[in-house]
Amino acid sequence: MNKFDATEREARLQAAAEQAERNDLPVGDAELDAYRLVIRAVREAAMPGLPEDFARRVSVRISPTADQASFEDGMVTLLLLGMALGGGGYFLPRFWPLLASLPLRLPTMNLPAVSWHWIVAAGLAISLAWLIDRFWHEHHGAMPA
Amino acid sequence: MSEDQAVVTAVLAGEPGAFERLIQRHQALVWHMVYRMVAQPEDARELCQDVFLRVHDRLRQFRFESSLATWIGRVAFNVATRHLQKKKIAWVSADEDEGENSEYMRASDGFDLAEACADQELMRHMAAEIERLPALQRTLVTLYHLDELGIGDIAASTGLPEGTVKNYLFRARHRLRQQLETRLGVLA
């Protein structure tokens, strides 16, 4: 028997053994039974397992993390807000007259003068929109249409 | 709504206990895949945790294009193979010569299947031989016969072509049968 025929024969034996196992057919063919034993050995092979409370342990690792993360997010937001307000409260009275006295005229375009506080306001608005978008993506996936 | 959709929706909605239920449904498959690839129980347990943490992080990306089990299996397979690559452990064997020895000793002629299955010593020997199979072969043979995944699902989880999966399964069973024959020859 050449190699191809032998392989073909083995493949047929394996398929027949699988079928016999699935349908719980009677035993008796030694070659088939050898493959049936192989299949049973694979099914019954003892192997270590996961701890019984694996699912609970992993899910607990996620849930408190999520709660903790939202608490930490809140604290960081509060801190940043406090810093921004504090910084604004400290610097604005000092720099506002200076900023307001610096009119900006775009050199190549014949647009009316824009004072700095409009640019700051626009920057803040864009940043706020970006932060809201980022927050939404993190917590709710894509923005609803 | 399918079971997969229900569990995914519940997890994404943050329903209490939903993720634990998801883990319970899929932990056997993940364990079999990771443990059979890695063969180190402690490493495999750690990796299984990583798998489910990744599943949790990426669940929003699941598009129901396959079953949830297949998708989780793919995550598990990727985690296991990355671990083996990091440790520089080969998981694809190049032992192409094993198919050469197709002439058996026929030591199994007349052996009793029920009696053989009840023979603890023989079954322990076979379990050890399964452990000795190349990582990919022992993983595929376990997924197919123990977890009863179809060839298509295994191919989708591992990213291997179906023909390759069939080939590995054939070679794994062939090799185990050879080991069985050798063992029975020794016992005879």
Identify from A2, A59, A65 which residue to disrupt to test chain B contact, counting B C-beta atoms within 10 A and taking the largest count: A59
Task: Identify which of A11, A33, A63 has the shortest CB distance to residue B113.
Answer: A33
Local structure of residue A53 (DSSP, 8 states): T
State residue B2's pLDDT score.
Answer: 85
Dihedrals phi, psi of B156, to nearest 5 degrees: -65, -40
Q: Rounded CA gap, B92 and B47, in Å?
A: 19
Q: How far is CA A114 from CA A92, A96, A109, A123, B161, in A?
A: 18, 15, 12, 14, 64
CA distance A9 to A3: 10
First to last CA, chain B: 57
How many whole angstroms separate alpha carbon B22 and alpha carbon B39?
24
Rounded distance between C-alpha atoms, residue A8 and residue A125, angstroms: 72
CA dihedral for A20, A24, A30, A36, sign (positive or negative): positive
Would you state the pLDDT for residue A132?
Answer: 86
pLDDT tens digits along A6-16: 888 999 999 99
Q: How high is the pLDDT of residue B102?
A: 46
- A44 in reach of chain B (CB within 8 A): yes
pLDDT of residue B130: 94
What confidence tens digit (pLDDT) does each residue in B39-84 have?
999 999 999 999 999 999 999 999 898 999 999 999 999 999 999 9
Q: Tally C-beta pairs within 8 A across A and B.
A: 112
Chain B positions touching A19 (Cβ under 8 A) are: none
B113 vs A27, A47, A56: nearest CB: A27
> What's residue A143's pLDDT?
45
More confident call, A64 vs B166: B166
Percent of chain A with pLDDT over 90: 27
Which residues of chain A from 100 to 129 reach within 8 Å of chain B, CB to CB? none
Which DSSP category does A143 fall into?
Answer: P
Q: Above 0.90 for ipTM, yes or no?
A: no
Given this model, what pLDDT does residue B99 score? 46
Using the predicted structure, report yes or no on whether residue A114 has a pLDDT greater than 70: no
Q: What is the pLDDT of residue A73?
A: 79
* Residues B167, B168, B169: CA angle, nearest 5 degrees: 90
Yes or no, beta carbons of B111 and A34 under 8 Å apart = yes
Chain B: closest CA distance from residue A6 (Å): 7
Stretch A62-90: mean pLDDT: 79
Cα A129 to Cα A95, A122, A141: the distances in Å are 25, 11, 16
Is the CB of A48 less than 8 angstroms away from the CB of B145? no
pLDDT at position A145 over 50: no
Report yes or no: A62 at the B interface, CB cutoff 8 Å. yes
Output the pTM of the full model. Answer: 0.70
CA distance to partner chain A, nearest, from residue B103 (Å): 8
Query: A44 and B123 in contact by Cβ < 8 A?
Result: yes
Q: Which residues contact B175 (CB under 8 A, 6 or more apart)?
A: B98, B129, B133, B137
| Residues lower than pLDDT 70 in chain B | 1, 93-110, 186-188
Q: Give the pLDDT score at B101.
A: 47
Burial B19-53 (b: 16+ CB within 10 A, else e): bbbbbebbbebbbbbbbbbbbbeebbbebbbbbbb
Q: How confident is residue A133, by pLDDT bands cut at 50, 70 and 90?
A: confident
pLDDT at position B36 is: 95
The answer to whether residue A16 neighbours chain B at the CB level (below 8 Å) is no
Cβ of B177 within 8 Å of Cβ of A34? The answer is: yes
Mean pLDDT over each residue of chain A, to the nearest integer: 81
Nearest CA in chain A to B61: A141
Segment 99-118 of chain B within 8 Å of chain A by CB: 99-100, 102-103, 106, 108-114, 116-117
From residue A84, alpha-carbon distances to A38, A124, A128 in Å are 70, 11, 13
Give pLDDT, residue A26: 84
Distances (CA, A) of A124 to A50, A94, A104, B25: 51, 19, 18, 48
CA distance B137 to chain A (A): 12
